[in-house]
Amino acid sequence: MSQAGFDNQKQSDIAIPIWVKSILVIGIGLFLSQLIGFPSILSDSIEKNRAETAFANGNYPEAIENYEKLLTSYPKDKNLIKNLGLSFYKQGLYYQALRTFEKLEGKEIPKSDVKVIEEAIENMLKQF
Amino acid sequence: MFIPGSVISVATFPGVVIHELAHQLFCRAFKVPISEVCYFRFGNPAGYVSHEKPSHWTHEVLISAGPFFLNTFIGAIFSFPVILKTNFGVLSFADCLLLWLSVSIAMHAIPSTGDAKCMWKAVSGNNAPLIAKLIVSPVVALIYLLSLGSYIWLDLIFGVAICFLGPTLLVQMLS
């Protein structure tokens, strides 16, 4: 908040205290330290975005390619595993889909995802 | 969920500090003498800058609006390297610290109703031409509206949006 109209105590300026400067210094330090890994996380995010776009557009071969690349860097990412499994399923690659969904066994995943995966597995088992 | 403003101010104190620092730096930029700066305190307002009346109404408006520019800028910049990591859920302690710092700073970008009063005072009466009143009055109205919006966490939503906007747009552009 700024309050105007204090004429009685004329002072040209007030120095910025060290503790205020240190908040900025800590922020800049953290920012610079995180900047080191930024190029790789940016390229991974671009890859993920491409994979999601391909999946949404029904371009499953491209989605599979991108999700597989991402899973080499993030092998425990449940969302990537789920989407890769669904891409295999949509592409008709049931064996690979089942092998992918197996990786989610024992892991906590949202109920909505469980439902989608269960439906896919049911459909695949009917085909066998 | 209702959480008292003082608790939010404590939890996001770097934002309050940078908010007051912005007022101070804008005072410096326009060579307006400052009599007192409180960067943070337990109370309402959580911080303030007391300064002399600027020579021109634009200076008063910009001093009051200073946090919008500085907090938004710092919040957006600090969050840049860490936001994309949230896509993969691989946040370290340092990432979480930087994320908290960024959101705290960005959510205090919106000028307070006290700042809005100063803006209005600067353009009211014969202090400024009609065009100034036409420009500043919607801004003042917007600040009051956003102040009411803080009851529904609009300040936090604004802070999070500022932090996510840049990196998300960059990924969309490069994809």
* pLDDT, tens only, B5-22: 778 889 999 999 999 999
| Ramachandran quadrant class, B148 (left: phi over 0; alpha: psi -120 to 50; beta: rest) | alpha
* B2: closest CA of chain A, how far (Å): 23
The Cα–Cα gap between A7 and A29 comes to: 39
Give residue A22's pLDDT.
95
SS3 content of chain B, % helix, strand, coil (to 5): 70, 5, 25
Instruction: Summarize the confidence of residues B103-115 as an average pLDDT.
Output: 93
**In the prediction, which pLDDT does B164 show?**
93
A25 lies within 8 A of chain B by CB: no
Measured CA to CA, the distance from residue B114 to residue B94 in angstroms comes to 34
Q: Is the pTM of this model over 0.95?
A: no
Sort strands A2-4 and B34-38 into parallel, antiparallel or unpaired. unpaired
- Is A112 touching B (CB cutoff 8 A)? no
Residues of chain A contacting residue B51, judged by C-beta atoms under 8 Å apart:
2-4, 6
Q: How confident is the model at residue B1 (pLDDT cuts 50, 70, 90)?
A: low
Looking at residues B69-86, what average pLDDT do you find? 92
CA B73 to chain CA centroid, Å, is 10
Residue A4 carries which DSSP code? Answer: E
Q: Is the pLDDT confidence value at A8 over 60?
A: no
**B 38-67 residues with CB < 8 A to A:** 39, 45, 47-54, 60, 63-64, 66
Chain B residues close to A45, C-beta within 8 Å = 84, 87, 167, 171
pLDDT-derived band at A6, boundaries 50, 70, 90:
low
What rounded mean pLDDT belongs to chain A? 89
Determine whether the interchain pair A1/B87 forms a contact, defined as Cβ–Cβ distance below 8 Å.
no
Q: Which residues of B touch A31 (CB under 8 A)?
A: 77-78, 80-81, 98
- What local confidence, expressed as pLDDT, does residue B124 receive? 87
- Tell me what pLDDT residue B146 has: 87
pLDDT surpasses 70 at A25: yes
Closest chain A residue to B67, measured at CA: A1
Whether residue A9 has pLDDT greater than 60: no
A12 pLDDT band, cuts 50/70/90, is: low
A41-45, A91-95, A107-111: segment of lowest average pLDDT:
A107-111
pLDDT for residue B2 is more than 80: no
Predicted local confidence at residue A87, as pLDDT: 96
Residue type, A118: E
How many interface pairs between A and B have CB atoms less than 8 angstroms apart?
131
Band the pLDDT of B152: cuts 50, 70, 90: confident
Residue A13 near residue B33 (C-beta atoms within 8 A):
yes
Over the stretch B81-97, which tens digit does the pLDDT of each residue have?
Answer: 899 998 888 889 999 99
Q: Please give, rounded to a whole number of angstroms, the shortest distance from the CA of A11 to a CA of chain B.
A: 6
Verify whether the Cβ–Cβ distance A31 to B28 is below 8 Å.
no
Compute the residue count for chain A. Answer: 128
With CA atoms as reference, the chain A residue closest to B114 would be A1
Residue B146 structure tokens: 């956003």
Residue B8 is predicted with a pLDDT of 86
For residue A56, pLDDT beyond 80: yes
State the complex-level ipTM: 0.83
Model pLDDT, residue A68: 95
Residue A50's closest chain B neighbor by CA?
A: B175
